[in-house]
Amino acid sequence: MSRQRAPHVLIIVQNLPVPLDRRVWLECKALRAAGYEVSVICPKGPGDPAYAVLDGVHLYKYAPPKQADGVAGYAWEFVYCWLRTAALSLKVRRRARFHVMQACNPPDTYWALALPWKLDGVKFVFDHHDLNPEVFRSRFGEPTKLAGKVQLAVLKWLERRTFRTADRVISTNTSYQDIAVNRGGVKREHTTVVRSGPDTSVMRPVYADQDLRRGGKHLVAYLGIMGPQDGVDGVLLAADRIVHHHGRRDFRFVLLGFGDCLDELKQQSTDLGLDDYVEFTGRVGPEKIAGYLSAASVGLSPDPRSPLNDVSTMNKTMEYMAYALPVVAYRLTETVVSGGDCAVYVEPGDSDGLADAVLELADDPERRAELGSAGRRRAEQVLDWRPQAQAYVGVYDELLGFPSAGPFPDGWPSVDRRSGITTDELRDQWGNQLVDLRDDAALREFAATRIIATEPVRGQS
């Protein structure tokens, strides 16, 4: 009896290149491990080729449009990306027939591309990353003028069409799942929650280079997109209060990431007299992220309460926890779901309280030991990508009736809980020494002291 031919999944992403989009890349790897063929269409990152095969995943990329400005600019961006994606979908089809198209929003426009492909028997899976009506309301408030009402109505219509076209919906949390069911009319049995959990076998603390602290005793980190709804200006307000109001010149701050507000934030830092204390790294890869989050004393989740943020899962919160980094965050519904009892929460909008909580936590090594070690264990045992990968692949197995090998055909992977590993073997792919997670006492000590390398870390000199 011949083995069934592996189905081919085409994944569409518009807002980030792959593999920079961590969630999508983990999905790609899970499908490949389970035996699926995978292709991705996405914009190019700096220096990316138009076509490449990475870890068995076929990547088709187009030159991104210029940064949008205003309604007309955003409309053109959507049209341009849609047309480039449609053209590349034909190119993918010429190479190999695909059986499923997965669209990751934003935007909610690729249902219109899925419709003609459905005539060819292609299934449509919607990977629900964002709530575009809530994004609009969070940025601009509830519209009172006709133009704003029309824009919001269009976003709601596009969302409804996406839900109605989808054969299955993948939601990043239960709040999004409820919206798919209650607002989108999707049958609950056709929705699956797949959280963007960290891969804790890869995202884990290392003994970092002391130069990352730039002469400070404490480093406070922010990791993520820097858009209007992300509240990154709150990091600078906290830095201003800590450095100038409290006179703490032993603090340094690092903002890892990029976004529409990056230039404004740099100017705000200068205006506040913080340039000696704040570092903007821009886009960074996993090696730098591991170094900075391992060297930091506190991770900040400053997302303000809004219709979007309150029900969205903040990846940075879980990633801080994966690096045993204590978290200070505003008390938002889904942020509390992620952080549980492993974070310090401040009431949304209390920027002074956010700064004071950072200061108090940084000066309390025992509390940092407790929160950091508990956060790491929660990341391993509750938030980790491994069970999410099983749920994700299960959507495709059920939809296509394909008896896949699952995302872990060689068995459930462990995170250094096994015996027989020497200290010398505890190195990451860049040669950095890893914290021994088999030893609870060592983890607590690291979380309390953020011990740093006494010699330059390989790859960071």
pLDDT at 417: 46
- pLDDT averaged over 10-residue windows placed end to end, the chain, 461 residues: 74 94 95 98 96 98 84 83 98 97 96 97 97 91 92 96 98 96 97 94 91 94 92 96 97 95 97 98 92 97 94 95 97 96 96 97 97 96 93 97 93 58 68 90 93 52 40
Query: In this predicted structure, what is the pLDDT of residue 75?
Result: 81
Count Cβ atoms below 10 Å from residue 19 Cβ, excluding itself: 20
What pLDDT, on a 0 to 100 scale, did the predictor assign at position 336? Answer: 96
Domain boundaries, the chain: 8-194+385-400, 208-381
CATH superfamily placement of domain 8-194+385-400: Glycogen Phosphorylase B; (3.40.50.2000)
What pTM, to 2 d.p., does this model score?
0.83
Cα separation, 429 vs 206, whole angstroms: 11
Fold of 208-381: Rossmann fold (3.40.50)
Pair 359, 246: CB distance under 8 Å:
yes
Q: Residue 53 forms beta bridges with which residues?
A: 58
Q: What is the pLDDT of residue 14?
A: 95
pLDDT score recorded for residue 415: 60
Determine whether 378 is exposed, middle or buried from the number of CB atoms within 10 Å of its CB (0-12, 13-18, 19+).
buried
Q: Tell me whether the CATH fold assigned to 8-194+385-400 matches the one assigned to 208-381.
A: yes
What is the per-residue pLDDT for 2?
A: 38
